[in-house]
């Protein structure tokens, strides 16, 4: 089971935009090979940052409106939100330290 919880359009505002903590959202799809490559990193970060940041996965095929709203053109795309605004983004399959380093800046 994934440590990063799926987020839907219905819960996006309350879970991501209104969060008191920084939030990492992994925009992904089942058919995306690079998304599967970074999934273990995203899950590990969800555990590592528990209590300091929230980590969610958003399936772009199931929730296209959110992906469109944030101009997600390729996946995997990781958006980091703080105070309801995007403060950073990472596009493509990157190593865990890169993701962690970018999230650290939002803490």
Which residues are annotated as catalytic?
32, 35
Q: Which residue has the tokens 């605004």?
A: 85
Task: Find all residues with CB under 8 Å of 17, minimum gap 6, and list them.
Answer: 81, 84
Residue ranges of the alpha helices (H) in the chain?
Answer: 9-12, 33-48, 64-69, 96-106
């Amino acid at each position: 089971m994934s440590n990063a919880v799926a987020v839907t359009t219905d819960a996006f505002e309350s879970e991501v935009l209104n969060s008191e903590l920084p939030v990492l959202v992994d925009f992904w799809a089942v058919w995306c090979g690079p998304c599967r490559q970074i999934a273990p990193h995203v899950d590990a970060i969800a555990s590592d940052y528990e209590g300091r940041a929230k980590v969610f996965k958003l399936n772009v095929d199931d929730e296209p409106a959110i992906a469109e709203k944030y101009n997600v053109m390729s996946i995997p795309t990781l958006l980091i939100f703080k105070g309801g605004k995007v403060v950073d983004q990472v596009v493509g399959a990157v190593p865990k330290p890169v993701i962690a380093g970018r999230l650290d800046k939002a803490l």
